[in-house]
Structures are given as structure tokens and as C-alpha cells.
Amino acid sequence: MENAITVALAKGRLAEKSVELLEKCGVKCKHILEPSRKLVFFDESGEYRFIFVKPSDVPTYVEYGVADIGVVGKDTILEEDRNIYELLDLNMAKCRLCIAGYADHETRRKTSDLKVATKYVNVARKYFEQKGQNVEIIPLHGSIELGPIIKLSDVILDIVESGKTLEENDLTVLEEICKISARLVVNKVSLKTKAETIKPLVKRMSEIIKEG
Ligand code: PRP
């Protein structure tokens, strides 16, 4: 247990899928999904230590090396822009990062600068800078779709998975920024010092992904 590899898993929608993938790789860890207030878990072999953290914190834990590896969405990787290796596209938890709003948002707009509500403020800043468009970015932490509905913003920048949330609120995708999926991220030092554990796991994961 002392030399265990620490794995940071994103709480929420990715948790179950991450554990499923690890189980397929032979890491016996499904018990960590059982309801509990514990924050640190081990797999049956004691070779892996797991921590469940907020998705946006996964890249931070991995950059600082307190987690050797992590599973997190590309959206979070783009937003956090941490000094970590992104080793594998896990081909799961697929969605799109989009600008969304009312189809006629241009005619509804009251101000010259577009108001954009989002939890991806860094992604939004870069995206609109590249387009050469002046915008006002309004940071929110959840229920982003409320932005246009209650006239806090003209549009939102958010992930769209099934599209149901937009549809049920009469909103629509206006622009697609990029496709998103879960990624395996690794601490740069750990990849060298713990290669004997990390590399076989990465290899097994990529085989599983190829098998579909
Ligand atoms: C995410 C995202 C959208 C929704 C998209 O929110 O911010 O609101 O999922 O999914 P859909 O296209 O399948 O409807 P999440 O459920 O993570 O909660 P949040 O509002 O707290 O961010």
C-alpha cells in the first residue's frame, strides 16, 4: 500500500464510467462506488489508491503529483490548462463544448458586447479572443442554461451531451467549439518514477478502448 499509485477520479457523471474501465483493466475497485463519506479508497490488491475529487480539481492534484494519474474530461483539461501529460483518449463520456442560446438571440440582444455565461471562463476568453469578438464573460458554477432564460446573458458556453437540457428550455446549439471525451492524465514525474505500474495500465486501457 505504501507504494500505491494514487488515482484522482472526477466525482459525478464520470465516476461510474471510470470505475467500469478500471475493472475491465483488472483493477478490482467497484466497491469504491458504494455510498460512503470516505474520501480515500484502495483497490483489493492495495496497488491503487483512489481519491474522488471535484472534476475541476483533477488536473491540479495530478500536476502537483499528489495524484499520479487521473481521469477527467477534455473540457476540464482545456479550462484548467495544467502542466500534465494527457496520455489517452478514453473514448467515453462524449459530449460537445458549444455556444448555445435562443435561435434569435441576436435580435433579443440589448447590449453591444455579447454576454456569455459559463463555467469555462478561460476557454471562453480564448475562444472569443481568437474570433476577435468583444464579449462579457459571466462566471457561473451550474445550471448555466438559466443565463439566457432569465436574461443574465445572451448565450452560454457549456457542454452539450444529449441536448435535452437545451431542448427542454427552447435553447439551441449556435456554434460547436470542439468535441469532448474523458482523458487519462498523468503526472510528468510519476510517469518516469512509477513507470512499471503506470505503463502496463495505460497499455491495458488502450487495448480495452480499441476493443470498444
Ligand atoms: C451539464 C451541462 C448541461 C447539461 C448538458 O450540467 O452543464 O447543463 O449537463 O447535458 P445534456 O445535453 O445531456 O442535457 P450538469 O448536469 O453537469 O450540472 P450543472 O448544471 O450543475 O453543471
Give CA–CA dist 35/49, Å, rounded.
17
pLDDT band at 107 (very low <50, low <70, confident <90, very high): confident
CA of 159 to the centre of ligand 1 (A): 7
Residue corresponding to grid cell 445550471: 143
Q: Is the pLDDT of residue 106 over 90?
A: no
| Torsion over CA: 6, 28, 44, 13 (sign) | positive
In the prediction, which pLDDT does 111 show? 82
Atom of ligand 1 nearest to the CA of 164: 14
Q: Does ligand 1 lie within 6 Å of residue 168's CB atom?
A: no
Q: Which of 119, 149, 159 to mutate to test the pocket of ligand 1 (most atoms within 8 A of CB)?
A: 159
Dump pLDDT digits (tens) for 157-193.
999 999 999 999 999 999 999 999 999 999 999 999 9
| Cβ-contact 114, 154 below 8 angstroms | yes
In the prediction, which pLDDT does 2 show? 67
Q: Does ligand 1 lie within 6 Å of residue 180's CB atom?
A: no
| Cβ-contact 147, 135 below 8 angstroms | no
Q: Does ligand 1 lie within 6 Å of residue 144's CB atom?
A: yes
| Cβ-contact 180, 73 below 8 angstroms | yes
CA of 57 to the centre of ligand 1 (A): 18
Dump pLDDT digits (tens) for 121-164.
999 999 999 999 999 999 999 999 999 999 999 999 999 999 99
Mean pLDDT of the chain: 96
Contacts of 37 by beta carbon, 8 Å cutoff, 6+ apart: none
Could you tell me which residues are beta bridge partners of residue 200? none
